[in-house]
Amino acid sequence: MADKKPYSSVSNIVLGDEAAPNYLELIGELPDDILRKMLDVVERDTEPHRDPVRIIHHFACTGGTLISKSLQVQPNVFLLSEVDPLSQIQLTQKRAQFAPTDPILLARASIKSIDDETAVRMFSSSINVLYEHLVSNGQRLVLRDHTHSHYCTDVLSDSRPTLIEMVRNISRVCSVLTVRHPVDSFLALDKNGWRHFEPFSLEEYSVRYMRFLEANQGAPIFMYEDFVENPDRVMREICEALYLPYNPDWKSLISTVKLTGDSGRSGNRIAPRPRREISEALLEQAVESQSYSSLCKKLGYDPVLN
C-alpha cells in the first residue's frame, strides 16, 4: 500500500483532494480558531489577484517623512501619512479637537466614546472604499503607519491590533520598515518634546523598538543612513519590495509634497547630516543599556558613541 502524501497546504484540507481522504472528519475535530485561520488562507489562495495594500513602518524621527515623500512621487502612488485609528495622542488634548471630516476621532472623543473594535471597523470600511476607488483608477495605496502611537505611548503595544491586522481583510499586505541609528532618533524625540512614555530613557526606548521589530519580523528593513548616502539605489529597492514602479526623476518632485510629521531639520536635501550633541548622561545610558546594545546589534549599528 502506497504511503499517503502529506497535505501540501491547509487549502487541501478545506477544499479536499485525492491526497486528503476523510478531510471532512478532520475539519470537524479542529478548534474554531484554527478553522478561521484555514479559511483565511483558502480565501487568499482562491481569490483573483488583487493589488496589495502597502504599508511603510518606522519610528518617529527616523527620516520617515522624507522617505514617504519619496514614495508619494512614484508613479500612481496614493499615500496616506501617519495612519492609526487607535492613536490616543489627540484624545489627550485638553480642548476638543476640530475634526469635521474625521468621524472616528469625533466618536472616540465623545462622552459616550466608541470602543476600539468599532473604531477599527469604521477605519477598515473607509480604507476599503478608498482602496476600491484607487484600484479602479489605476492607483496604488500606501499607508504610512503612525508607529509612535502604538509603541511609544502609555498604551500596551500588545493590547491592540496592528495596522496590518486592521487592513488585512481588504487585500494582501506588503510592508517595509525604515530605521535609523537609535541614538539619533532618541535625541530627536527629546528635542521635539515627544516624551510620551515613561521612563523616558534609552533603555526603555530600545525595549519598545525591539517589540516593534518583533511584531514586523520578515518585512524588509532599510536604513535611513543608506538612503541619504545613495537615495536612488535605496528608493529603487524600496519600490521593488512594495511592488511599485520606480520613477528615476523622483528627486526633482519631492519638494512639491507636503506631509504631516515633517518635524525634523527642514529642507528636502537628501544628504547625511551631523549627529546632534550627546549629553554625558546619554553616553552613560548607552554604555549601561543592554537593550540598546541588543537593538544596535539587531539593526547592524555600532552601539559605541564617539
If one compares 67 and 97, the residue with the highest pLDDT of the two is 67
pLDDT, position 41: 59
Q: With a threshold of 0.85, does the pTM exceed it?
A: no
Q: Say if residue 244 is exposed, middle or buried (CB neighbours under 10 Å; 0-12, 13-18, 19+).
A: buried
CATH tag, 53-80+139-299: 3.40.50.300
For the stretch 195-229, pLDDT in tens is 999 999 999 999 999 999 999 999 999 999 999 99
If one compares 95 and 172, the residue with the highest pLDDT of the two is 172
pLDDT over threshold 70, residue 48: no
> What is the widest separation between alpha-carbon atoms in the chain?
76
| Structure confidence at residue 26 as a pLDDT band (50, 70, 90) | low
pLDDT, position 216: 96
pLDDT over threshold 80, residue 105: yes
| Three-state secondary structure readout of the chain | CCCCCCCCCHHHHHHCCCCCCCHHHHHHCCCHHHHHHHHHHHHHHHCCCCCCEEEEECCCCCCHHHHHHHHHCCCCEEEEEEECCCCCCHHHCCCCCCCCCCHHHHHHCCCCCCCHHHHHHHHHHHHHHHHHHHHHCCCEEEEEECHHHHHCCCCCHHHCCCHHHHHCCCCCEEEEEEECCHHHHHHHHHHHCCCCCCCCCHHHHHHHHHHHHHHCCCCCEEEHHHHHHCHHHHHHHHHHHCCCCCCCCHHHCHHHCCCCCCCCCCCCCCCCCCCCCCCHHHHHHHHHCHHHHHHHHHHCCCCCCC
| Structure confidence at residue 241 as a pLDDT band (50, 70, 90) | very high
pLDDT over threshold 90, residue 187: yes
> What are the domain boundaries of the chain?
10-45, 53-80+139-299
pLDDT, position 269: 78
Q: What is the mean pLDDT of residues 122-145?
A: 98
Q: Name the grid cell of 304.
A: 559605541
Contact 109, 95 (CB under 8 A): no
| Structure confidence at residue 96 as a pLDDT band (50, 70, 90) | confident
